[in-house]
Amino acid sequence: MGRWTAKGAAVGGGLFFALSMYRSVASGGPSMSHLNPIGVMTVIGFTVGALVGPLIGAIFARRSGLRDEKKRESV
């Protein structure tokens, strides 16, 4: 679960960072003047990614058959 949390945080944080940098550049001003909103959006991306990452990992594991639910219930 920790691996999926780290992957989700990295992907979510990177995606939100890239989108906020794009919006900063598209606005025509220097990126340094928008540093606070970029930071906030990156933290939000890390948080959302870390929360959603394990859920997506469980879905992938269930779809690929890596986890057998019947064995876990009998233990």
What is the predicted pLDDT for the residue at 28?
79
- pLDDT > 70? residue 47: yes
Q: Three-class SS of residue 68?
A: coil
What is the predicted pLDDT for the residue at 33?
77
pTM value is 0.71
pLDDT tens across 12-26, in order?
999 999 998 888 888
Structural domain containing residue 57: 2-74
Helices and strands, number each (H, E), in the chain: 3, 0
Closest CA to 21 of 1, 11, 35, 9: 35
CB atoms within 10 A of CB 32: 8
Enter the DSSP assignment of 67. Answer: S
What is the predicted pLDDT for the residue at 72?
55
Domain count within the chain: 1
